[in-house]
Amino acid sequence: MKKRRGAHTGLSTQAAERLRPRLDAFLASTDARARIGFDPVEFPHRYQDPRDVEVSALLAAALAYGRADLFRPKVDGLLQRMGKSPAAFVRKLDVAGAKALLTGFVYRFNVGTDLAVLLLGMGRALREHGSLEALFVQGWKAAGTLHGALAAFTAALRDVPMEPLRDAMGPERGLHHLLPSPLGPGAAKRLNLYLRWMVRGPDPVDFGIWKQVPPSVLLVPLDTHIGRMALHLGLTRRTDLTWRTAEEVTASLRALDPEDPVRYDFALCHYGMSGACPAKTLPVHCARCSLLSSCKVGPRVVARASLQV
> 80-124 pLDDT, tens per residue?
999 999 999 999 999 999 999 999 999 999 999 999 999 999 999
Instruction: Give pLDDT tens digits for 169-226.
Output: 999 999 999 999 999 999 999 999 999 999 999 999 999 999 999 999 999 999 999 9
Q: Which residues in 237-259 are b (16+ Cβ under 10 Å) and which e?
A: ebeeebbebbbbbbbbbbbbbee
User: What 3-state DSSP class applies to 63?
Assistant: helix
Distances (CA, A) of 250 to 1, 41, 77, 123, 261: 19, 21, 35, 32, 6
120 close to 183: Cβ distance less than 8 angstroms? no
- What kind of architecture, by CATH, is found in domain 10-35+214-309? Orthogonal Bundle (1.10)
Angle at CA 210, nearest 5°, toward 226 and 253?
30
173 close to 114: Cβ distance less than 8 angstroms? yes
**How many CB atoms neighbour CB 3 within 10 A?**
7
Q: Closest Cα to residue 57, out of 165, 205, 227?
A: 205
Provide the residue ranges of all domains of the chain, joining segments of one domain with +: 10-35+214-309, 43-184
What phi and psi, each to the nearest 5 degrees, are found at residue 162?
-85, -35
Instruction: Give pLDDT tens digits for 252-284.
Output: 999 999 999 999 999 999 999 888 988 888 888
Across residues 118-133, what is the average pLDDT?
98
Q: What percent of the chain has pLDDT over 90?
A: 83
284 close to 278: Cβ distance less than 8 angstroms? no
Q: How many residues does the chain have?
A: 309
285 close to 302: Cβ distance less than 8 angstroms? no
pLDDT at 306: 63
pLDDT at 121: 98
pLDDT at 210: 98
